[in-house]
Structure 1
């Protein structure tokens, strides 16, 4: 038991080091893309470049997530919505913000969503410690506020830019399957599993399959 605890502690310590180094390198290497996307968003409609939204982090602590804005300013300024489930979020629930063909999505937004470029600012979240490179995707607060005790277990670890659920269905799976996969990751998480998730994510992004 002691050895298992020491191994897990070492894993979390090394993971944070990887997060800091990895996110810093990513921000530096991807800075030309950051600049190009920022200019494209500004030229298309003159609106804000970064979309900010409150999400539930580790231990259900709220934080502000960053994305490149992909929808019209009028839509992104609206409240997220309210959910009133009393016995947890239904397993059949699938959160669909909007499709790529939705008229509320800008032309630039459609492209950056397809290849998950809109998620790149989250490397800043990783660098400052709100998120990890690998972990359960952070959910919006109105949904996590309805979580059952079992569903709350996915909030035990730091959320990630990508995770086990994302490489096994991404945005197409329902809540029940997402919870199952996230809890499976929390139970089995290792450096090797994180590496597998990372490279599978790279492949899915290049292929433009689904959205993170």
Structure 2
């Protein structure tokens, strides 16, 4: 009886995530900005919520599970900008992003204008749909600045890419001010890791300022 061929032993790949502690200065900054912005933005938030309810049946807010700090799942809050029948296509969106990650092409948002509610495109363009994430910041499962949480699951990432989960995800980050949807998935991840490994108050303040300038210049595609 012929001897059985031995299978080669493949080296184990470390897929652990080093969960860095959130610096005290970062939590203080998040809570200070939250305390300042919420009273100012409350009339706008109420107006947008009422508008969405008027133009499209369904909830004003959109809740979705994302992967956060240390690879732990959390619920992200957004204003709903798509019709209810369209907002639950998580698997389709995940496959779309994963395909761009493999091909190395820029991760542009898919064409879904027909699925948007009236005014949904403008709400997205001005990033108003992201404002409810201030409550994520208050809860402590997001920060103002950090890697952007997407729809991919941990198994969709290569081992080295998991370093983007070492810190809290953010409402904005290096990706948003460095080209956003014009960048490839790998470029986005490298920016996220660069940010995670060089945390500083000065860096966060610069990113927040640059984000405001990007929105004002209407380059936030």
Q: TM bucket by the smaller chain?
A: 0.7 to 0.9
Give 1:57's match in structure 2, choosing from 65, 68, 79: 68
1:55 Cα deviation from its structure 2 partner: 0.6
- Is 1:179 matched up with 2:165? no
Give the secondary-structure state (helix, strand or coil) at the position aligned to 2:58. Answer: coil
CA contact (8 A) 2:109 2:181 kept: no
Shift of 1:108: 2.0
Q: Report the counterpart of residue 207 of structure 1 in structure 2.
A: 217
Normalised by the length of structure 2, the TM-score is: 0.82
CA apart distance, 1:69:
0.3
Does the 8 Å CA contact 1:53/1:66 hold for their aligned counterparts?
A: yes
With normalisation by structure 1, the TM-score equals 0.85
SS in 2 for 1:145: helix
Supply the distance in 2 between the matched residues of 1:111 and 1:69 (Cα, whole angstroms). Answer: 12
Partner of 2:50: 39
Structure 1 residues 154 and 91: alpha-carbon distance in aligned structure 2, compared to 1, 3 A threshold: farther
Q: 2:134 aligns with which of 98, 112, 123?
A: 123
Structure 1 stretches of 4+ with a deviation exceeding 6 A read none
> How well do the aligned residues superpose, as a CA RMSD in angstroms?
2.3
- Residue 5 of structure 1 corresponds to which residue in structure 2? none
Q: Encode CA deviations 1:159-210: one digit per residue, 9 max, x unaligned.
A: 0000011100122211111011111112222111111100000011122213
Which segment is superposed worse, 114-123 or 162-171? 162-171
Hey, what's the Cα distance between the residues in 1 that align with 2:116 and 2:110?
8
CA offset digits 1:2-52 (Å, max 9, x no partner)? xxxxxx97x811110111121232222100110110111011022210011
In the alignment, is the contact (CA less than 8 A) between 1:91 and 1:175 conserved in 2? Answer: no
Whole-angstrom CA distance in 2 between matches of 1:64 and 1:120: 14
> 1:91 offset after TM fit, Å?
6.3
Q: What is the count of residue pairs matched by the alignment?
A: 199
Instruction: Select the residue among 173, 176, 194 that pairs with 1:166.
Output: 176
Deviation for aligned residue 1:57? 0.4
Matches within 5 A, 1:1-212: 12-81=23-92, 83=95, 89-90=101-102, 92-99=104-111, 102-142=113-153, 144-211=154-221
Instruction: Name the SS for the 1:178 alignment partner.
Output: helix
